[in-house]
Structure 1
Amino acid sequence: MKAPAISVDVHHHLTPDLRQRIIDDVRARMQEPSYRLLSPEHLRELAQLDTGGPALTSLYLQLTPERRTGRAWQTALSALAHTALQLADNAMQKMVRADIGEIERALNDQLPALGRGAAFFVCRERGIWRQIALPIALPDQIRIGTRPYLRPMLRSWGSHDRTLIALLSREQSRFFATHLGTLEEIYRVKGQRIRGMLTDRVPLDRRDAVAASIIKDEAKALAAMAELINREFEASNILLSGSPEMSAAFRGYLSKHLVDRITPFEASIHASPVEIAAAAAPVQQQLRLRAEREVLEALREAVPGAASTGTQETLDCLGAGRVLKLVADDSYVARGIQCRQCQRLFELAQMHTCPCCGSTLLEPVDDLVEAALQQALDRRASVAFIREPDYRVAFAARAPLQALLRY
């Protein structure tokens, strides 16, 4: 999907109509069926999908360099499809075979340019189609059910993965968004051609002042666009590349909330998406490490009652809707139990009645952390993962699952 372009100069202002057009364009970008940009709202929407009966196919497929050579991914997909069809009854086989056929056609048409895998959630009968590029090669697997199988993808998702990239220059600026291994150009902005304007229209003694005024006006419009895009995409960081005067003016018009999340980096305004992704990667890695460190510090410094300190305490707070940020050791896996009536989660594998509602409708959970992550999405809590080995040691000293609390 080609990035839309607009002009911002003395003849083209950021009017209310243009602001709404920008919002509509960003939303359309995130709804694009081909390897869509993924926001937290999309994950929450995926977690709530339920076909009510018809089969929904959830597919995770590795797309490493080796898989892309000689169309090796096609062999892997065929093996997955064979396994899934063997486990399905006759009525379901027809639906699943059609869904897998659509997925194969989509991969034939376009493999994701970035990332090392892809996830599909498809139910043709209900008009459900979700196609997502993944930054890591999650294990190949296929699941058939009435709801999307999100657990593998949730492990690769965290609030610090969403980044807005702004490349600024006097005559052209570009906005990109990254998430789950995908980088896409969101908007391209044409500015005022200052050189020609100053030569033809402005007296020599006023040129510096006019040039500075033009830069400020353009920076003001670009800052307003960044606020709009960030609000829709819920990015946690902004990577900024631009001349000192343009960058300073841009910062001056941003809200303090966004200014605090800016990190400078260097990339050419004419660079390709692949080149921009390569330039941004080491900066994003440093931001991820900083985010993990800040979460650990917040947990350690929290006053009593502002953070949970044990796994079951965390699960109890999650069930009560008290969790603001759920924090998980990315390597931790454990079995547990979930009450089908009140949806509460429990560490203990041996239970006969729910201690919260008294129900006997209990079911085993293969991975307690993944179930907790999905429940956090349902309750609009944010999620953070601890992946750095040294940080994981410090984190696990208390519990592999903790939380910062709303109250």
Structure 2
Amino acid sequence: MKALSLAIDAHHALTPELREQIVQNVRARLQDPPYRLLSPEHFRTLAMLDTAGHPVVSLYLELTPERRVGRAWQSAFSALTHQVFQTMDEAVRNSVNADLQDIQRALDDQLPELGRGAAFFACRERGIWRQIALPIPLPDRIQIGPRPYLRPLLRCWGRSDRMLVALLSREQSRFFVSHLGTVEEIYRVKGQRIRGMLTDRVPRDRRDALANQLMKDEAKALASMTEVIGRELETSHFLLCAPPDMNAAFRAHLSKESLSRLGMFEANVHASPTEIGAAAAAVQEQLKVREERGLVDQLREASPVAVSTGVQETLDCLSEGRVLTLVADDSYAADGTHCRQCGCLFETTQLSKCPACGETDLEPIDDLVEAALQQALERRAQVVFIRDPARRLALAEKAPLQALLRY
């Protein structure tokens, strides 16, 4: 989707009406079917889909340039479908086959518009269809189950993987979102051509003061706009590139919370999105590592009543809705048990009845972390994967799955 343009200057203030228009524009972009910047709300909606037993097909398919040559993706798709058909009975196979045919038709029709990967979640019997184009390739996989399989998406997404990038200047400012390895421009703001305003009608001794005030007013509006966009997109950090005077004026109008998430980089305000992404990449990685370090330190130093530090304790807190932020070692994998009656999760696989409700309607699960992620999203908790090797070792001192608690 093309970047939207607006003007903010002495004649165009950031009014409540314009602010609301910006909010609506951002939300509209997130609803655009080919839009690649997956929002937290997308994940929450997917996590809450439940087919009451009907199988959902979750398909991840790489669509790299090599896969597009000679329609090589079809061979990979056929191999996946053949593999999954070997493990299911005829009734399920017929239902799943219809969904897979729908997915193949979508790929045939829309492949030229897709990025380097695609994810599909489909269940024709329940009217479920989600098609997501991805700018990065995720490993090929088909998963059949009562709910969408989201872990591959969540692992590459994470709280620290979406950042708002602002390049400011007096005559033009640009806003981008950096996400999943890509940078996409979302807003272009025309500012004040100060030189044109400082005519002979303005006394010479007042020109510098007027120019400075105009710049401060513009920086204030841009700071407010940054907060609005960042809140709607639920970005983890702000990356800023601005000349020194505008930088200071802009920062003076950011909230304390936003300032704590601010990083600086250098780039030409007229640079391409690719060039801006390259210029910001090192700062982004530093911010991600800093956030992981801060989060692990917070878990370690927090009061015992504010954290859960064991796998089962974390799962219990999830079931009770107490988790604010779920923190998982990116490499952690384990089997577990799910109670169909009360929804509780257990890290042990040797249960005859649910320790929480006493029911015997239990099911084994082969990915305990995936099930925990589903519950976290349903309860509007944040999800963070720890990827830095040093931080993973620090996390493992207590448990590979921990949480910051609401209460």
Q: CA RMSD in A?
A: 2.3
**Cα distance between partner residues in 2 of 1:105 and 1:183:** 26
Kindly report which structure 2 residues correspond to 1:170-189, keeping only aligned pairs within 5 A, or say none. Answer: 170-189=170-189
Kindly report which structure 2 residues correspond to 1:298-377, keeping only aligned pairs within 5 A, or say none. Answer: 298-377=298-377
Shift of 1:93: 2.7
**Cα distance between partner residues in 1 of 2:60 and 2:368:** 20
SS state of the match for residue 163, structure 1? strand
**Cα distance between partner residues in 1 of 2:204 and 2:321:** 64
Shift of 1:23: 0.6
Contact 1:117-1:133 within 8 A present in 2 as well: yes
Q: Which amino acid aligns with 1:346?
A: F
**Cα distance between partner residues in 2 of 1:243 and 1:122:** 49
SS state of the match for residue 305, structure 1? helix
Deviations 1:316-348 (A, max 9, x none): 111111111111111111101010111111111
Q: Which residue of 2 aligns with 1:133?
A: 134
Structure 1 runs of 4+ aligned residues shifted over 6 Å read: none
**Cα distance between partner residues in 2 of 1:74 and 1:37:** 26
Q: Which residue of 1 aligns with 2:102?
A: 98
Q: Which residue of 2 aligns with 1:285?
A: 285
Deviations 1:280-338 (A, max 9, x none): 22111111111111111111111222212211111111111111111111111110101
**Cα distance between partner residues in 1 of 2:135 and 2:312:** 31
Q: Which residue of 1 aligns with 2:21?
A: 21
Q: Which residue of 1 aligns with 2:149?
A: 149
Kindly report which structure 2 residues correspond to 1:7-406, keeping only aligned pairs within 5 A, or say none. Answer: 7-51=7-51, 56-64=56-64, 66-67=66-67, 72-83=72-83, 89-90=93-94, 92-108=96-112, 110-112=113-115, 117-122=117-122, 126=127, 128-133=129-134, 135=136, 137-145=137-145, 147-199=147-199, 201-406=201-406
Shift of 1:130: 3.3
Shift of 1:256: 1.5
Shift of 1:167: 0.7
Contact 2:149-2:370 within 8 A present in 1 as well: no
Contact 2:114-2:134 within 8 A present in 1 as well: no
Shift of 1:5: 0.4
Contact 2:29-2:35 within 8 A present in 1 as well: no
TM-score between the two structures when normalised by the length of structure 2: 0.92
**Cα distance between partner residues in 1 of 2:262 and 2:178:** 15
**Cα distance between partner residues in 2 of 1:227 and 1:37:** 18
**Cα distance between partner residues in 2 of 1:400 and 1:293:** 15
User: Residues 55 and 314 (structure 1 numbering): CA distance in 2 closer, same or farther, change over 3 Å?
Assistant: closer
SS state of the match for residue 192, structure 1? coil
Kindly tell me the number of residue pairs found equivalent between the two proteins.
402
Structure 1 gap ranges (5+): none
Q: Which amino acid aligns with 1:128?
A: W
**Cα distance between partner residues in 2 of 1:350 and 1:193:** 71
User: Residues 80 and 201 (structure 1 numbering): CA distance in 2 closer, same or farther, change over 3 Å?
Assistant: farther
**Cα distance between partner residues in 2 of 1:71 and 1:282:** 36
User: Residues 264 and 403 (structure 1 numbering): CA distance in 2 closer, same or farther, change over 3 Å?
Assistant: same
Report sequence identity in percent.
62
